[in-house]
Amino acid sequence: MTTGQDLLELSPVMPVVVIDDAEDAVPVARALLAGGIGVIELTLRTAAALSAIERVASEVPDIVVGAGTVTAADHAKQAADAGAKFLVTPGCTDAVVDACFETGLPFLPGASTVSEAMRLAERGLTALKFFPAEASGGVAFLKSIAGPLPSLKFCPTGGITVPSAPSYLALANVGCIGGSWLTSSLDFATIEKLAAEAAKL
């Protein structure tokens, strides 16, 4: 896996995961894998996040672990050093995008406007996170930009649910969707069940 486009092909659903206690990271990753989801985005929103990435990278080698919520330049290197295999950002400041490039990792930069998407495309970035998807126009927005921006493909994230997922995944400019619903509880059996359902979307 070397490009952002590859990231969009890993799974129909990119689980966006917030970990408060690093101890939980490995069982969460194993439950996702057991359900058939081979990728996990651990958000850098908590003090435990980098340690969670480290643990999953070393103890669950079969899942592709990445870092989400990369909102500052130094996050990118910290996540790469912890063992992240990819990065995801909610938005796209020049400093954050530069720092992501410097890691050499594939990454999905966030965009929610046509101009942001065009600026990222100018830098060779054609696989983008569309965030916050529902609040920014959702399926209708993505349909509208497919004509003028045919080279771009998205991972819409933010407000997507199991019932709304199929309408996103049916779009030619959507590779996968992101969502936090799979891991909203730390009940590992439930995570496995939700992952199995998501893997079939």
Residue 16 binds ligand ELE, judged by CB under 6 A: yes
Pairing of strands 110-111, 13-17: unpaired
Among 4, 12, 66, 90, binds ligand ELE (CB under 6 A): 90
Token pair recorded at residue 111: 């965009």
Residues 106, 108: Cα–Cα separation, whole Å: 7
Among 178, 191, 192, 195, binds ligand ELE (CB under 6 A): 178
Among 12, 106, 156, 158, binds ligand ELE (CB under 6 A): 158
Residue 179 binds ligand ELE, judged by CB under 6 A: yes
Tell me the window of 96-104, 113-121, 168-176, 178-186 that interacts with ligand ELE (CB under 6 A): 178-186
Residue 68 binds ligand ELE, judged by CB under 6 A: yes
Point out the residues that are catalytic: 41, 129
- Is the CB of 61 or the CB of 127 nearer to ligand ELE? 127
Residues that bind ligand ELE (CB under 6 A): 16, 43, 68-69, 90, 131, 157-160, 178-181
